[in-house]
Structure 1
Amino acid sequence: MTVAGWETRKNVPLVGHQVLLQYRKGSGAFVTPKKVRTDRDGWATATVKATADGAYRYDFAGTSLTRATTGSADFVDVK
């Protein structure tokens, strides 16, 4: 995740912010199996073992200067 750096006129990473990896089985509600923090480049990386078909997405609660956002879900088909 990055934000506009107005002084440098370049995007700067949001470092150390909590991001939720969320999972939904079928049409139920999303649950949070893992919480991670963004790294020095603004990336959030989470690994969980998929044991059933379902959708995964990232959710960010926002900060005092940025709004909250939720990524689109990716469906995982477990064979």
Structure 2
Amino acid sequence: MTVAGWETRKNVPLVGHQVLLQYRKGTSGAFVTPKKVRTDRDGWATATVKATADGAYRYDFAGTSLTRATTGSADFVDVK
């Protein structure tokens, strides 16, 4: 995740902010949070969980005093 750096006119990474990895079993219902991670020095959030059933995963960010909250689109995982 990055934000605009108005002084430098470049995007600046959001470092150390909590991001939730969320999971929903199947195609409907509520998302749950199996893992919380923090963004790294480049603004990336990386999480690994073992998929045991078909479902959708997404990231959720609560925002800060200077940025709005956002939720990523979900990716569906088909477990074979």
Q: Same fold (TM over 0.5)?
A: yes
Which residue does 1:37 correspond to in 2? 38
Which residue does 1:8 correspond to in 2? 8
> Which structure 2 segments of 5+ residues have no match?
none
CA distance in 1, matches of 2:24, 2:39: 22
Shift of the alpha carbon at 1:28?
A: 1.2
Query: What SS does the aligned partner of 1:52 have?
Result: coil
Q: For residues 39-71 of structure 1, what are the alpha-carbon distances to aligned partners after superposition, in whole Å with 9 as ceiling and x for unaligned?
A: 000000000000000000000000000000000
How many matched pairs? 79
Give the root-mean-square deviation of aligned CA atoms.
Answer: 0.3
CA distance in 1, matches of 2:63, 2:19: 9
Kindly report structure 1 stretches of 4+ aligned residues shifted beyond 6 Å: none
Query: TM-score when scaled to structure 2?
Result: 0.98
CA distance in 2, matches of 1:59, 1:66: 13
CA distance in 1, matches of 2:2, 2:29: 31
